[in-house]
Amino acid sequence: MQQLKNRVLEHCKVSLTDKLHVLEITIKDLQESLLSETKSTAGDKHETGRAMVQLEMEKTGHKIGSIQQELQIVNRILADTIKQQDVVRLGSMVNTSNGIYLLSVGQGVVKCEDAVVYAVSLKSPIAVALIGKRVGEEISFMGKTILIKAIV
């Protein structure tokens, strides 16, 4: 299960890096748009256009910051040398009677070979229910009783 965990984490890292690259291109395009907007002399229309471009640059900048934080989390988990975990925490891959969950960053369903893993953030409802639990314990989630089979 450790190999599966590493593959899922690498998948998350690649996905986040790709998103970051797209957002960096978006920022460059917006900067170019802002420069071309400064050459316009259309008065109020010019100011509105500049303001909208700057607002979009700000939103994109926040997204970049968020993805960079998620990449730091993934890299920290990958660097973690603890292989066996007694309790569910950040970085745990939890095999349950309801599926396999990786408590890392919210990437959703990740398919690796024949396995389906749900990469979820610590703020997700399932992660909140799992945190602090041990192998053999059960949680109640959305009307289901879920058994924790293994933690890596």
Q: In this structure, are residues 31 and 57 in contact, taking their beta carbons and an 8 Å threshold?
A: yes
Q: In this structure, are residues 15 and 117 in contact, taking their beta carbons and an 8 Å threshold?
A: no
Q: Are residues 63 and 10 in the same domain?
A: yes
Please tell me the distance from the alpha carbon of residue 105 to that of residue 32, in angstroms, as a whole number: 32
Q: In this structure, are residues 116 and 109 in contact, taking their beta carbons and an 8 Å threshold?
A: yes
What is the reported pTM? 0.82
Which whole-number Å values give the CA distances from 125 to 14, 64, 101, 121, 131, in the listed order? Answer: 25, 25, 12, 9, 10
pLDDT at 2: 86
In a domain, 86, yes or no: no
In a domain, 41, yes or no: yes
The last residue of one of the domains, among 21, 48, 79, is 79
pLDDT at 43: 57
Q: Are residues 102 and 68 in the same domain?
A: no
Q: Are residues 41 and 63 in the same domain?
A: yes
Written as six digits, the tokens of 32 are 């170019």
pLDDT digit string (tens) for 4-37? 999 999 999 999 999 999 999 999 998 888 777 5
Q: Give the total number of structural domains in the chain.
A: 2
Q: Are residues 50 and 99 in the same domain?
A: no
Q: Are residues 112 and 68 in the same domain?
A: no
Q: Are residues 112 and 61 in the same domain?
A: no
H/E stretch holding 9:
helix 2-38
Q: Domain containing 101: what range?
A: 93-151
Please tell me the distance from the alpha carbon of residue 80 to that of residue 92, in angstroms, as a whole number: 11
In a domain, 105, yes or no: yes
pLDDT-above-70 percentage for the chain: 91
Q: Are residues 114 and 54 in the same domain?
A: no
In a domain, 87, yes or no: no
Q: Are residues 16 and 67 in the same domain?
A: yes
